[in-house]
């Protein structure tokens, strides 16, 4: 009997399928997306640092670019990713130790509010420089 | 009796044919459950529609499927509670299992997991509930109240598991790790663990839960607990197993 099996790519899409799902699924999807984002950033960061090997002029032109509003906006996005992943990670770690399992939704909301508040303050400081 | 005219968009798959959705419109009473609407499709429109059902009151778990994308037992889900009155009610088979035909999936991997967890259906809690049918009868026959065993409230939840596999479908991690034990089987291990103090049995059960495809694979989406129609709380059981494993590891050092 031939059964219907979906491809791995399609099944992986379920990691971020939050349609009609509860808050825990949103937390799960956000953690996956931000986790992948941080891995991508790590390689970008290493790529940027490699400019140092090409001499001072190469690095100076990059630092000039890094002060542009577009680059500062990227910094804010990076900070948002770090805050969401890090603070949600606290929820995952706590529940993983069987702490706060019954209040995990509330925990997620509180941590995300902290992330949002920290992001607003940090964004204001980044653009004030 | 008020009737509803409900459009149903049902997933169809037959061997050798591409999967698709068929739309049927059926008339059901206002009080009808989703399984009644599926029955009506089978009876009035298409006898080739393949679906499971048995008890009609959430005891067997055989009819589990997805209604508008969310795992539910159609036998206890009223049409009017899930239908917005306009768009067709979308019915799909459970996720994370191979589709045999239409709304039926191959659950053999699920039952293999439950067997591996050494979970046998026990009715200890049911048989010792303090209330009996007599309590609800109009006759004045004295009820046969039975004393509640100590600690029953601690573990009777899992006795409620009807092995519907809804938690396995709702779990996003199951989608990409075919070896993951899954919420139901891990909750079964937790339940079996509670029933024994034998060091050998405890070690065996915890070794099943430990490992790459055991409790550590869970990434805290809590969808299993949210979807469970029987309030088994599999995610809570997984976290409790983790706690015991961590505690034992620290004590060893």
Q: What is the pLDDT of residues B53-97, one digit of tens each?
A: 999 999 899 999 999 999 999 999 999 999 999 999 999 999 999
Model confidence band, residue B121 (pLDDT cutoffs 50, 70, 90): very low
CB contact under 8 A, A14 and B19: no
Report the pLDDT value the prediction gives residue B129, as an integer from 0 to 100: 45
Please check whether residue B194 touches A, CB under 8 A.
no
C-beta pairs of A88-92 under 8 Å, 24+ apart in sequence: A88/A27, A88/A30, A88/A31, A88/A34, A88/A112, A89/A31, A91/A27, A91/B220, A92/A31, A92/B219, A92/B220
- B133-177 per-position pLDDT tens digit: 444 444 444 444 445 555 554 444 456 789 999 999 999 999 999
In A, minimum Cα distance to B172 occurs at A15
Higher pLDDT, B223 or B129: B223
Cα separation values, A129 from A70, A99, B114, Å: 14, 40, 59
| Average pLDDT estimate for B181-205 | 90
Which chain A residues are closer than 8 Å to B157 by Cβ? none
Note the ipTM here.
0.87
* Lowest mean per-residue pLDDT among B147-151, B210-214, B232-236: B147-151
Mean pLDDT computed over A41-60: 88
B18: closest chain A residue by CA = A4
Quickly state the pLDDT bin for B128 (edges 50, 70, 90): very low
Which is more confidently placed, B69 or A65? B69
Alpha carbons B141 and A41: distance in angstroms, whole number: 73
Check whether A63 has a pLDDT greater than 90.
no
Give the nearest partner residue to B243 out of A15, A92, A98, using CB atoms: A98
Q: What's residue B118's pLDDT?
A: 64
Min distance B104 CA to chain A CA atoms (Å): 10
A:B CB pairs within 8 Å: 82
Whether this prediction's pTM lies above 0.80 is answered by yes
Chain B residues with CB under 8 Å of A14 CB are 95, 172, 175-176
Record: contact A98-B175, CB cut-off 8 A:
no
B220 in A contact zone (CB under 8 Å): yes
Taken in order of first residue, the domains within chain B and their CATH numbers are 3-105 (3.10.20.30), 108-122+152-252 (1.10.1060.10)
What local confidence, expressed as pLDDT, does residue A94 receive? Answer: 96
Closest residue of B to A27, CA-based? B221
Beta bridge partners of B78: B33
Q: Do B221 and A8 touch (CB under 8 A)?
A: no
Q: CA neighbours within 13 Å on the CB side: how many for B70?
A: 18
Q: Which domains does chain A have, with CATH numbers?
A: 8-128 (1.20.1300.10)
What would the pLDDT profile of B26-51 be if each residue is shown by its tens digit?
999 999 999 999 999 999 999 999 99
Tokens of B201: 């049995």
What is the rounded average pLDDT of the residues B112-116?
84
**Which chain A residues have a beta carbon less than 8 Å from that of B95?**
14
- Residue A7 DSSP class: -
Cβ within 8 Å, pair B222-A104: yes
């Amino acid at each position: 009997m031939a059964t219907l099996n979906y491809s791995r790519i399609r099944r992986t899409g379920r990691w971020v399928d939050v349609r009609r799902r509860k808050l825990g699924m949103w937390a799960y999807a956000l953690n996956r997306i931000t986790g992948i984002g941080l891995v991508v950033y790590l390689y970008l960061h290493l790529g940027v640092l490699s400019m140092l090997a090409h001499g001072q002029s190469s690095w100076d032109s990059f630092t000039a670019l890094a002060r542009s509003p577009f680059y500062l906006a990227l910094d804010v996005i990076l900070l948002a990713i770090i805050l969401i992943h890090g603070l949600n990670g606290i929820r995952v770690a706590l529940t993983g130790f069987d702490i706060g399992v019954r209040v995990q939704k509330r925990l997620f909301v509180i941590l995300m509010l902290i992330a949002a508040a920290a992001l607003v303050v940090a964004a204001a400081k980044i653009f004030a420089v | 009796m008020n009737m509803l005219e409900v459009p149903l968009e049902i997933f169809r798959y037959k061997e050798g044919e591409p999967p698709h959705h068929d739309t049927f419109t059926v008339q059901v009473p206002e009080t009808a459950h989703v399984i009644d609407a599926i029955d009506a499709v089978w009876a009035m429109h298409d006898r080739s529609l393949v679906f499971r059902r048995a008890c009609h009151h959430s005891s067997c778990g055989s009819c589990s499927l997805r209604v508008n994308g969310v795992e539910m037992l159609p036998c206890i889900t009223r049409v009017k509670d899930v239908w917005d009155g306009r768009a067709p009610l979308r019915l799909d088979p459970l996720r994370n299992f191979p589709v045999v035909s239409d709304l039926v999936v191959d659950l053999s991997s699920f039952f293999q997991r439950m067997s591996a967890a050494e979970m046998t259906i026990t009715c200890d809690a049911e048989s010792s509930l303090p209330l009996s049918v007599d309590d609800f009868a109009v006759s004045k026959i004295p009820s046969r109240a039975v004393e509640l065993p100590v600690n029953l409230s601690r573990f009777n939840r899992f006795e409620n598991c009807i092995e519907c596999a809804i938690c396995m479908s709702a779990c996003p991690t199951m989608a990409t790790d075919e070896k993951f034990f899954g919420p139901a089987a891990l909750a079964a291990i937790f339940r079996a663990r509670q029933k024994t103090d034998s060091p050998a049995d405890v070690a065996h059960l915890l070794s099943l839960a430990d490992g790459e495809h055991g409790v550590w694979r869970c990434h805290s989406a809590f969808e299993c607990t949210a979807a469970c129609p029987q309030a088994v709380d599999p995610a809570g059981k997984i976290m409790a197993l983790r706690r015991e494993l961590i505690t034992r590891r620290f004590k060893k050092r």
